[in-house]
Structure 1
């Protein structure tokens, strides 16, 4: 199978810039609602990251499942609710410790990056209950360093100095 470029996927899937970084497009939205919550059962997006274009640290109030589709491996950086940091590589090189799917639990602060030079990763992300922008919270370096000074190196890499307007 031919390895396509990031531009190929962006154009073919109609991806647009995402506020946290990278490119995305909603691919599915459940027609069912979570009983008593007024929220759709799940939503799913295509998400594409390129070298030097990180997904900045953010938090969701729902679980998010990630699925690797194409390209190079993607590092998902997580600061769990208990304050522990974890990096998981999403990809298909299982012998190198990569995994083809990953759960980011609700209320985890997380972001992602492609570490290889001139590379990209195309993934799918499913959120349940369904994603709503009001549940999406971005962070500055200052905010995170106040609560997690032990993770200064990754925070400086993965969080905004100042939130975008």
Structure 2
């Protein structure tokens, strides 16, 4: 989908009331309805469900990108819709590109961000804070923080996402590096198969 069509699709969702409608947000099974409506698929390893709404057909040669991309060709940009739940949360991971998160509805999203210099901070994505930039190389994990038990968000990345840019967090490694965040790390990592 082209960027202009993506923006129009999201605008249509907002104006239709589906995204921020309080009535829809309180409907049991609202997360399942979104997953079905947008034909979302489970996100391997990380958790949650996604639907790709944009992936440019134009690409950037790996030689033109910083060395961290390993000389691998990337789409110019990508955008997804994302639903996470208290069980299908976004497990700690890091990316090679800044990720811009957008809030569309459901519960606020609570983030744990672990920086390369050993710092930990928390952030929220919600109606009052509808966008959040997670810088590259920052460990990020998130989960809905509210009574509904689900959140509807989206992310954009440039250069666009490819699977090789994703690194899952390991509970024991992260706990050693960020001992003061042990409880949050345990809550945002998995030891078994992903349950979206």
User: TM-score, normalized by length of structure 2?
Assistant: 0.75
Q: Identify which of 141, 144, 161 aligns with 1:131.
A: 161
Secondary structure of 1:131 counterpart: coil
Secondary structure of 1:146 counterpart: helix
Shift of 1:106: 0.4
CA distance in 1, matches of 2:89, 2:149: 12
For 1:91, the equivalent position in structure 2 comes to 126
For 1:48, the equivalent position in structure 2 comes to 83
User: Residue by residue, what CA displacement relative to the aligned partner does 1:51-96 show, whole Å, maximum 9, x if unpaired?
Assistant: 232211001011100001121211121111222111111111x2xx
Q: Identify which of 61, 64, 75 aligns with 2:110.
A: 75
User: TM-score, normalized by length of structure 1?
Assistant: 0.88
Q: Identify which of 43, 55, 61 aligns with 1:29.
A: 55
Secondary structure of 1:142 counterpart: helix
> Is it true that 1:18 corresponds to 2:43 in the alignment?
yes
CA distance in 2, matches of 1:163, 1:52: 12
Shift of 1:162: 5.2
Larger radius of gyration: 2
Equivalent pair of 2:109/2:126 in contact (CA under 8 Å): yes
> Is it true that 1:147 corresponds to 2:147 in the alignment?
no
If each structure's strand is expressed as a fraction of its own residues, which one has the higher value?
Answer: 1
For 2:6, the equivalent position in structure 1 comes to none
Equivalent pair of 1:138/1:163 in contact (CA under 8 Å): no
Unpaired segments of 5 or more residues in structure 1? none
- Matched length: 159
Equivalent pair of 2:108/2:124 in contact (CA under 8 Å): yes
Secondary structure of 2:182 counterpart: helix
Secondary structure of 1:45 counterpart: strand
CA distance in 1, matches of 2:181, 2:150: 25
Unpaired segments of 5 or more residues in structure 2? 1-20, 66-72
CA distance in 1, matches of 2:118, 2:172: 16
For 2:8, the equivalent position in structure 1 comes to none
For 1:119, the equivalent position in structure 2 comes to 149
CA distance in 1, matches of 2:105, 2:179: 35
